Amino acid sequence: MKVDRRLIFNFDWMLVLFIALIVGIGVLNLYSAGHGISGEPYLKQIRWVLLGIFVMVLTFAFDYRWIARYAYVVHGLAIVLLIAVFAVGAVTKGSQRWINLGGFSMQPSEMVKITLILALAKYFNDHRAEKKYGIRELVAPFLIVLVPFVLVLRQPDLGTALMLMILFGSMVLFVGIRIKTLLSLVATGLLIIPLGWNFLAEYQKERVLTFLDPERDPLGSGYHIIQSIIAVGSGGIFGKGFMRGTQSQLKFLPEQQTDFVFSVFAEEWGFIGALLLLVLMLSLILWGLKIAQHSRDFLGTLIAYGVTMLIFWGVFINVAMVLGILPVVGIPLPFFSYGGSSMVKMMVAVGLLMNVSMRRYVLQS
């Protein structure tokens, strides 16, 4: 394969800078959050970052149009893995999410977020509507999301399942949906919610109830939210300083390397630090939007847009949850939370962004 020189010329250094900054701060924060925990999570996280970079390079090395050809195959593979989880997956904290792949374990539910974006991008690119989409045209793409959605919900992993639906919704909103269709879908959704309530596991119901009123059970499930709010708020303007967060260092914070990693950051770096981090994340997301907008084709736009929304919703839901404005649903903070699957997934997402970005001027081969 002959490397087009324009690829190198158009390499998106800005994107690399954003990612480098965010991942760097993330590892630093994990160093503090995981202090005193056996195995030093930050060291493992560095390994995941390195693996992520490798996968990212792999992702942008091949033209996204070529990748998209196999989108359904890859998505189907991911679904197979999701089914396999029920057969051979490991159970942690009451749900079956992990699968062992020759030496290391991964969460297929993380991987499926990427394959969903690719599959939907391919679908909407291949089946472009003349006007906006109606209910009949949406049946097929809905099936693409419904299968993994149900599987993930059964694990059960409410957060990821919702994320899949949100991604689907974001894509549909972008490609255009008839107003009438949208309204009727929303109405159906509202009718289904009470039914879905019964579908939730006891702990998930508890989380939703507790979100509505954290003080309902301050020592039980409201504990997470209260401790997180205390951690964030006690950081004040300038924070308590690196490694000085009492809430995190004394382990008052639950899940502080994973879902509540932002609380650790906000406690130690204060409003200034948290604001800077959010601005950095916002810059990355807007940069992603820009890449989508300036893609050379619609497929590139859809992929870049989908991936950007993946990052955006991850950041928004996680931070909103940590700050107590959304229920605790277990969505990791992109690039920040400890965990290989999440990190690799995000690096793949960035790889796709880079892929679209660097090929924006390559018109024809």
Write down the least CB distance from residue 131 to another protein, Å. Answer: 12
Least separation in angstroms between residue 6's CB and another protein is 14
Question: CB–CB of 113/310 below 8 Å?
Answer: yes
Q: Is 19 exposed, middle or buried (0-12, 13-18, 19+ CB in 10 A)?
A: buried
Residue in the block written with tokens 């090929």: 359
Q: Which stretch binds another protein (CB under 8 A): 38-46, 78-86, 94-102, 250-258?
A: 250-258
Provide the mask over 18-57, with x wherever binding to another protein is found by CB under 8 A and - wherever it is not. Answer: ----------------------------------------
10 belongs to the binding site for another protein (CB under 8 A): no
Binds another protein (CB under 8 A): choice among 23, 65, 85, 355:
65
Which of the ranges 24-32, 52-60, 138-146, 317-325 carries the binding residues for another protein, by CB under 8 A? 317-325
* Residue found under tokens 């650790």: 264
Residue 292: CB partners within 8 Å, gap ≥ 6?
A: 300, 301, 302, 304, 305, 308, 356
Do 273 and 265 form a contact (C-beta atoms < 8 A)? Answer: yes
- CA-CA distances (angstroms) from residue 185 to 98, 163, 197? 33, 18, 18
165 binds another protein (CB under 8 A): no
Per CB under 8 A, which region of 63-71, 79-87, 146-154, 342-350 contacts another protein? 63-71
Residue 1 CA to residue 13 CA, distance in Å, equals 23
Check the CA dihedral 138-140-141-147 and report its sign.
Answer: positive
Residues of the shown chain interacting with another protein in the complex, contacts defined by CB under 8 A: 1, 63, 65-66, 128, 173-174, 176, 219-220, 223, 227, 229-237, 246-247, 250-252, 266, 270-271, 274-275, 278, 281-282, 285-286, 289, 292-299, 301, 305, 309, 312, 316, 319-320, 323-325, 365
